[in-house]
Amino acid sequence: MNAPALAILGTGMVTGVGLTAPAACAAIRCAIDNFQETRFMDAGGEWLLGCDVPLEQPWRGRAKLVKMLAMALQECLDEVAGLDPAVTPLLLGVAEATRPGRLDGLDDALLTEVETELGRRFHPQSRLIAGGRIAVAAGLWRARELLVSREVDRVMVAGVDGLLSGPTLAAYEARDRLLSSQNSNGFIPGEAAAALVVELARPSETPQLLCLGLGFGTETAHVEAEEQPLRADGLVAAIRAALAEVGTTLAATDFRIVDVSGEQYGFKEATLALSRLLRERKAEYDIWHPADCIGEVGAAIGGVVLAVARAAVTKAYAPGNNVLAHFGNDDGRRAAVILSYQPVRVF
């Protein structure tokens, strides 16, 4: 059964390789990164690499999250004509509650602080989603509920996060999760904010990027778990659920954009899911992973992935117009999104 389609009207992005969506997407397309030595040292006495967002002042912690998020949201407000925050809910993804080194005050203060930074107030249905890397997908699900109920006409879905803090890096290094002089199977930490504006798809002869399907699952053999072997059950369930909402198969998608950020686990899981779901031969089936350029950015990756997908299909450098995006948290939660760049016709 087909679910109501969401149209992505605008995007905003702040990353270490660009402070706007067009700049960041252009850098990612060219495989430009901004990995530099940080002020943190690993257990071997070498400086850790990271991808820092260069702002005009050296803000840190929650203050920097607010600045990055406000920039991404303002970009959306500038792009989408007539977008009024007062009647537009903001569904804001942040780090999950169990994330090592998670900043204090995210749940209580972040929404209020970004409203103050922008000088605008969002619709009372605004809320935080402490969902980590699946947060933006969860935000799209909630946005669809709000739009179908006709409570609002448009919704902003955003994510902001950063892993460049001492407690976070120390915890991940202790778990052998960071790329360092002592560990080659790890990720490079980064920080970012990304935002989307969505509405229910309306009849249009002009192609637009549509979110056609959403799916969720739970993986028991996740990266932090003792359980083995990994069969990618959670990711398979999420992708199947998203495909079922569209009424199609994986073979109908042209390429993938994922949140994999350097660890072998993520690539293995994506490969296993593909082997279980793809039943037709495809000569090519690319997998894109923007974290190669911006590092591991946690809850911001969902918005980054969708903004990259939108730039690629609208500028015609994507391998096709139908996209699978998928995401996974360390605690086993998985999410999948089916996107398509097409006109919306009335039959």
If asked whether residues 28 and 111 sit together in one domain, one would say yes
- CA dist 114 to 70, 72, 161, 184, Å? 6, 11, 14, 37
Q: How far apart are CA 25 and CA 239, in angstroms?
A: 25
What pLDDT shows up at residue 204? 86
Q: Is residue 220 part of a domain?
A: yes
Q: How far apart are CA 313 and CA 233, in angstroms?
A: 30
Region of residue 178 (phi > 0: left; psi between -120 and 50: alpha; otherwise: beta): beta
Domain ranges, residue 318: 205-344
If asked whether residues 179 and 214 sit together in one domain, one would say no
Model confidence over 223-272: pLDDT tens digits? 888 777 899 999 999 999 999 999 999 999 999 999 999 999 999 999 99
Mean pLDDT, the chain, rounded, equals 95
If asked whether residues 186 and 224 sit together in one domain, one would say no
User: Is the pLDDT reported for residue 1 higher than 70?
Assistant: no
Model confidence over 10-65: pLDDT tens digits? 999 999 999 999 999 999 999 999 999 999 999 999 999 999 999 999 999 999 99
Higher-confidence residue of 262 and 296: namely: 296
Tell me how many domains the chain contains. Answer: 2
Strand segments (E) across 204-332: 204-218, 255-258, 287-288, 322-328
Model confidence over 277-294: pLDDT tens digits? 998 888 899 999 999 999
If asked whether residues 68 and 173 sit together in one domain, one would say yes
What pLDDT shows up at residue 143? 98
Task: Yes or no: say if 99 and 332 are a contact pair by the CB < 8 Å rule.
Answer: no
Model confidence over 160-175: pLDDT tens digits? 999 999 999 999 999 9
If asked whether residues 78 and 158 sit together in one domain, one would say yes
If asked whether residues 225 and 327 sit together in one domain, one would say yes
What pLDDT shows up at residue 53? 97
Q: How confident is the model at residue 347 (pLDDT cuts 50, 70, 90)?
A: very low
If asked whether residues 188 and 242 sit together in one domain, one would say no
**SS3 (DSSP) at 146:** helix
User: Is the pLDDT reported for residue 346 higher than 60?
Assistant: no
If asked whether residues 192 and 265 sit together in one domain, one would say no
- Mean pLDDT calculated for residue range 90-119: 96
Task: For the chain, report the end-to-end CA distance as a whole number of angstroms.
Answer: 17
- Mean pLDDT calculated for residue range 121-133: 97
If asked whether residues 138 and 263 sit together in one domain, one would say no
Rg (Cα) of the chain, in Å, rounded?
Answer: 19
If asked whether residues 194 and 227 sit together in one domain, one would say no
- Per-residue tokens: 47: 């400086």
What pLDDT shows up at residue 227? 73
What pLDDT shows up at residue 344? 79
